[in-house]
A and B are shown apart, each in its own frame.
Chain A
């Protein structure tokens, strides 16, 4: 698999991770950083874990410790205008708003909890979440339960 295929394949994953971990100004930078790390890491990928597990690890590890460059905040279009696709109908627009509220709520969780929640929402099994995070499967369950409680509180009456 070459890098363009990899990025095409994992574009939805990278897109969601960037939406959760970057603000409207450094979305592009984080997207590029993740892509570069996937490209560099792909040469060393040995197949010890599933490719998707490996890709999630690289992308989340990059996002978790990504530092925004404040000087770049000027002269950039906010995420809401540039990266969120325009919706064609009222129904689609409303749905996009609900999606946006969900992402906003996930963004309010602690950085580490965001990763666990993101993997849960991606419908990853506890074993795979454990493999990606390095936590035990039972600990994953506890963390997900706490994060879900917090997320529900944040979303109360919003979606």
Chain B
């Protein structure tokens, strides 16, 4: 048995000899080779978050101005500022976790990955359930408020909004599962195998 192991290790080590020939190809890597953005899922999440941060900053500035003549304008502006500050704090902790996600032992790294992914997926689902019906509703009812709200068409409009929201929510759920859900399951499975 031990001899067999030594054979395997010997064979494995012998690949070092052929790899020596490859080393020449490594020396040509310049700074630009290492400065490229990583392509893994966590870099993608980080990039998405940067975009979301910019989007929320723009929304925070722009959204209250839709209601600039209303009495609750300053309340709304204050709420949006608080929302951006909370978002910044949450994202800050995400960025710190992502930066060091591959360092630490395999178990630590997988645990961190599961945690970051899990939180991100939950947040995406929550956003999906809140933003989609809200957007569809606001979009539909603001189009012609007086007619829709105070007519017999109100319930029909409500039904259309509900169906449209449901379709969007299902499609976004499929998207989240395909992009992040399967990956989360793989990470969980690997972690279970180790623990």
Contact = CB atoms under 8 A, between A and B. Distances in A.
Interface in B1-35: 4-5, 7-9, 11-16, 18-23, 26-27, 29, 33-34
B11 A98 contact: yes
A47 to B, nearest CB: 13
A151 interface: yes
Contacts of A108: none
B61 interface: no
Give me the 7 closest cross-chain CB pairs, A-B, nearest first: A134-B107, A134-B105, A39-B34, A121-B12, A61-B102, A61-B109, A133-B106
B151 interface: no
B121 interface: no
A23 interface: no
B102 A35 contact: no
Given A122-B12, A135-B194, A35 B105 contact: no
Contacts of B38: 33, 36-37, 40
B11 A67 contact: no
Contacts of A60: 106
A83 interface: yes
> DSSP majority for the B interface?
helix
29 contacts: A3-B34, A4-B27, A8-B27, A12-B20, A15-B19, A36-B34, A37-B102, A41-B103, A57-B109, A58-B102, A62-B40, A62-B102, A64-B110, A65-B40, A65-B110, A66-B40, A67-B41, A85-B18, A99-B15, A102-B12, A103-B15, A110-B193, A123-B13, A131-B105, A133-B107, A134-B104, A134-B106, A151-B8, A155-B8
Interface of A: 3-4, 7-8, 11-12, 15-16, 29, 32-33, 35-37, 39-41, 44, 54, 57-58, 60-62, 64-67, 69, 83-85, 87, 95-96, 98-99, 102-103, 110-113, 115, 121-123, 131-135, 148, 151-152, 155, 159
A119 B178 CA distance: 32
B108 to A, nearest CB: 6
Given A85-B18, A111-B190, A151-B8, A7 B36 contact: no
Contact of B105 (A65, A87, A133): A133
Interface of B: 4-5, 7-9, 11-16, 18-23, 26-27, 29, 33-34, 36, 38-41, 99-110, 113, 183, 186-187, 190, 193-194
B14 A41 contact: no
Contact of A4 (B4, B19, B29): B29
A6 B14 CA distance: 22
B45 to A, nearest CB: 12
Nearest to A121: B12
Contacts of B39: 29, 33, 69
Given A15-B19, A65-B41, A111-B190, A99 B11 contact: yes
A32 B108 CA distance: 23
Interface centre among A15, A41, A98, A110 (most CB of B within 10 A): A15
